[in-house]
Amino acid sequence: MAGLKDRYGPWAVVAGASEGTGLAIARHLASEGIHCVLVARRAGPLEALAADLRAEFGIETVVAPVDLSLDEACEQVATAVGAREIGLYVSNAGADPTGAHFLDAPIDDWVGQIQRGVITTMRSCHRYGTAMRARGRGGLLLIGSGGCYGGGAYMSVYSGLKAFGLNFAEGLWAELSPHGVDVLFMALSTTDTPALRKLLAAKGVPLVEGLADPADVAAHAFARLPHGPITNWGQADDEPGMSPVSAAARRQRVLAIGESTRRIFGS
């Protein structure tokens, strides 16, 4: 079986790489010999990770300290990427650091989350997906949450942007898989990350048991990437759980919708 580098190419962009799941994803890619463009707001953690990856795995790294909630974020990342061939784009910057009811936080907090989790993700997938389609290979991995399946208190914006990610990934998978480009939305359960620990500590809530391990999440994400458009953490492909509909059933639904729309729009 071909490795990730053979399947996708020499370079990956990991957005949200400074800690937690994003850091684990970067380490997994580096272990496969894939060079990494590491993106997050804070330069210090990125520099430390870049040095570790170079020393342990002998790969090349590029550090791109970019605030992904800014309008110009995608262009800033593109400047850091330069002419490198990006075979994988990973969107992992989507945590909710606010943990509040919608009306109890400033609107700009929510707008920043939408910009980071929706607009920057969409712009980046368009930029790198265009080149992947032209080459006939590549992968787009959107790390999401089971919150995509429905809203709730403290989750109005978070669940909304995750629902966008789910449906966006399904549509991209239908459009790009015929061109050799893999697309996957990974719906996580609660994962043991520094962001979660910080939020729980701020709220005075103890750490819950049974959290997903970021390294396991990373390994599973890349194992399932060729089998998009969705995988639910901790559940088999044909097993409902987070949603009454399994990932396999959603896949069939996407294909059925594609057949219907093809009659209207053509191939």
**Tens of pLDDT along 154-172?**
999 999 999 999 999 999 9
Domain covering 7-265: architecture: 3-Layer(aba) Sandwich (3.40)
Can you give the three-state secondary structure of the chain, one letter per residue? Answer: CCCHHHHHCCEEEEECCCCHHHHHHHHHHHHCCCEEEEEECCHHHHHHHHHHHHHHHCCCEEEEECCCCCCCHHHHHHHHHCCCCEEEEEECCCCCCCCCCHHHCCHHHHHHHHHHHHHHHHHHHHHHHHHHHHHCCEEEEEEEEHHHHCCCCCCHHHHHHHHHHHHHHHHHHHHHHHHCEEEEEEEECCECCHHHHHHHHHHCCCCCCCCECHHHHHHHHHHHHHHCCEEECCCCCCCCCCCCCCHHHHHHHHHHHHHHHHHHHCC
The confidence score (pLDDT) of residue 211 equals 82
User: For 79-100, what is each residue's pLDDT tens digit?
Assistant: 999 999 999 999 998 778 888 9
**What is the model's pLDDT at position 267?**
63
* Tens digits of residue pLDDT in 69-79: 999 999 999 99
The predicted-structure confidence for 187-244, as pLDDT tens digits, reads as follows: 998 777 767 677 777 778 877 777 888 999 999 999 999 999 999 998 999 999 888 8
Return the percentage of the chain with pLDDT > 70, whole number. 97
What's the pTM value of the predicted model, to 2 decimals?
0.92
Average pLDDT across the chain, whole number: 93
The per-residue pLDDT for 1 is 47
